[in-house]
Structure 1
Amino acid sequence: MGLLRGFGLGSLATLTFTASTALAHANSTSHNSPGLPLAINTWGGPFIVATDAAYVALLEAQTSALDAVELGCSTCEANQCDGSVGYGGSPDENCETTLDAMIMDGTTMKSGSVAALRRIKNAIGVARAVLEHTTHTMLAGDFATDFAISNGFVAQNLTTLNSAASCAEWKAGGCQPNYRINVTPDPASSCGPYSPLPLNSSSRDYTSQLHSRGSPEGHDTISMVALHRSGVMAAGTSTNGAGRKIPGRVGDGPITGSGSYVDGDVGGCGATGDGDIMMRFLPCYQAIENLRLGMHPKAAAENAVKRMVRKYPAVQSGIVVVDKEGNHGGAGSGWTFTYAYRGGSMNETVVVTVPPLNDRVSDL
């Protein structure tokens, strides 16, 4: 049934820490393994509560790598971390928060995910139910909600006073910015309703018409990899997606190989960033294949990011990669990316700062 089916909120709170955080500057530095068990995830700051929760859980003999990933991601779902994970964040055009999540087992290579999940707070838990109780990989929308309820999850309103106020302010400002293109009335000044403008795919400027007008808001996500002391690995992702998204939009978070990926014979990867672009490249799958070819985790991460930057120079991305021994590294573009890890006998989480690669893509 998964670890959280047995945890109440009181038990969860006992694993939510305000840990002191040591900073490490990545730059060109490679990071050796601190030892196993190990929890590692995208972002520092408020996200380290997830790192600590997963790591402390891994110290218990009965906790599996899947348990740790579920617990770590659900900690951010419950606490909202920076507001980009779980309920009450990133409302869509209709002011509703919907969630994407996935979880993957590094031994069987089986993953379970939910996309555009409505009215259920514990998205990573539902993703694990998909993994454990179906032969499918992904369930979506209202049908994913129905599945969740049939598996004991409780439906509830994911809107908060803050998210409702944020959406009302956005609408009062003419729905600016938004993700609409090639529609009438002009989405740069109107809330719609919109009608599509005809496009000619044989036209010379057709491809230029397909580019976005810029991303309205940030797109942070928690993606986590856990290594059990036995060497068994798991990975997972949870997010409430892009703010002001068109209802029904699904990002890279629940996509196996994009939001996260793990092969216990090689290593694991977690990603965050502009999911609409990143899912076109499956950067976590690429990074693990880079590991398979013998690259160090940092080089594997940089190679995957550079592939995206060559096509989309301004893309915001961040990926963290860890091999099966626990050696790790990260890469990002468009912002200063951070990731957090705690392993072996470490007394506190360390946050690694990763400068953007956008200006260094010629050596791909």
Structure 2
Amino acid sequence: MEVVGSPVLYVLAAQLCAVYSQPALPLVINTWPFRSATQAAWNVLASGRSALDAVERGCTQCEIDQCDGTVGYGGSPDESGETTLDAMIMCGSTMKVGAVANLRRIKNAIGVARAVMEHTKHTFLVGESASLFAESMGFVCEDLTTNRSLTIYSKWLDQYCQPNYRRNVTPDPEKSCGPYKPLKGLKNDKPASPQKAVDVHSHDTIGMIAIDKTGNVATGTSTNGASHKVPGRVGDSPMIGAGSYADSSVGGAAATGDGDTMMRFLPSYQAVENMRMGADPTSACQKAIARIQKHVPVFFGAIICANNTGSYGAACGKAPGFSQFHYTVFKPGLSQPREEVVDCL
């Protein structure tokens, strides 16, 4: 028996087939509306190069652009007025990682992180020694200070070094720049709320996940850390499993926010493990955030997640001044990076 269907139905069916057959890979997803970084990474994948190349190129673009003043040179001066950089990169197919922290005088932090991964048997280099290693690898030595960072630092000094990250010291860190000494005879060692002390937008990070068309996953981060941090402080961004994590058999995750809180819980690793156990990317991110909230009910932080088939999601913890998290995606079917937003838990 011949069945005669409506031409309109045939067209709709064809369109639905086109939607459902739309490939989900390759994929680039990164924290915050850093579109030029997303575009740079996508261009690498579109040319057929690796996910690792894409992550390095995308984060490098953010370092060049000084994204939000929180990535790259010329931002987030520490207590001494110096800008230092942290970065990491991870290949989910080999499980190799390169990371640097407290990097001085070198603008391309994620490039140095990759050099650690590819030109040493180590995983993590820090401080002045990391900078000397970078110079030996051919990276250009440059001043990371700018007029902007000097202005930020001068204003902070004029405000009696407020806000800062000191506690349980004398003189009173809420009224003085120090120098500080330990306060003896502590009666209450309860940590101060970072949201009360520090602007939640003073330490954003680019965290990026790239997946090539065959499902190879890479992740990376780059940041200049928290503004007015104690010199030598290292946050979550370069920490494996905290700042980001990749496993091509599962997917990848990357985090941003209050690193001094988030690094204690390895949220990126946790999110990838959640996906390994069957959670979809959104649920995986939400569970990682909820795990932190059990111990720290109010904190500034967010996570992006993607599995190796190209599904992705994000989650964030609600904090004063932070109720939504914006991130950026580039995937097949888009002509340019697309900003997406999620409400915080």
Answer whether TM exceeds 0.5 for this pair.
yes
Cα deviation, 1:249-280, whole Å, max 9, x if unaligned, reads 00000000010100000000011000000000
Instruction: Report the secondary structure of 1:311's partner residue.
Output: coil
CA distance in 2, matches of 1:331, 1:349: 19
> In structure 2, do the counterparts of structure 1 residues 106 and 199 end up closer, same or farther at CA, with 3 Å as the change threshold?
farther
Matches within 5 A, 1:1-364: 35-44=24-33, 47-61=34-48, 63-198=49-184, 205-206=188-189, 208=190, 210-212=191-193, 214-217=196-199, 218-333=202-317, 334=319, 335=322, 336-357=324-345
Distance in 2 (CA, whole Å) between partners of 1:264 and 1:291 is 12
Q: Secondary structure at the match of 1:136?
A: coil
Partner Cα distance (2:133, 2:122) in 1: 12
Larger mean Cα displacement after TM superposition, 138-147 or 213-222: 213-222
Instruction: Give the direction of change, closer, same or farther, for the CA distance of 1:298–1:199 in structure 2 (3 Å limit).
Output: farther
Question: What is aligned with 1:15?
Answer: none
Q: Separation in 2 of the partners of 1:351 and 1:215?
A: 29
SS at match of 1:90: coil
| Partner Cα separation in structure 1 for residue 203 and residue 294 of structure 2 | 21
Which stretches of structure 1, 4 residues or more, deviate above 3 A after TM superposition? 210-215
The 1:230/1:34 distance shift into structure 2, 3 A limit, reads closer
TM-score (structure 2 length as normaliser): 0.90
Q: Over residues 34-71 of structure 1, what are the superposed CA-to-partner deviations in whole Å (9 max), with x where a residue is unaligned?
A: 62111110111xx011111101111112x111100000
Following superposition, the deviation at residue 312 of structure 1 comes to: 1.3
Kindly provide the CA deviation profile for residues 228-251 of structure 1, in whole angstroms up to 9, marking residues without a partner as x. 112111000000000000000000
Tell me, yes or no, if the aligned pair for 2:74 and 2:83 is still in contact at 8 Å. yes
Structure 2, unmatched stretches of 5+, are 1-20
Asked if 2 retains the 8 angstrom alpha-carbon contact of 1:342 and 1:348, the reply is yes
8 Å Cα contact 1:267/1:291 also seen in 2: yes
Aligned-pair CA distance for 1:346: 1.8
Number of paired residues? 318
Letter of the 2:38 counterpart = T
TM norm structure 1: 0.85
How far the C-alpha of 1:198 sits from its partner, in A, is: 2.5
The Cα RMSD (Å) is: 1.5
Distance (Å, rounded) in 2 between the aligned partners of 1:84 and 1:240: 6
What is the rounded CA distance, in whole Å, between the counterparts of 1:42 and 1:215 in structure 2? 23
Q: Give deviations 1:131-155, integer Å, cap 9, x for gaps.
A: 1011111000000000000000011
- Tell me the percent identity: 53
CA contact (8 A) 2:22 2:333 kept: no
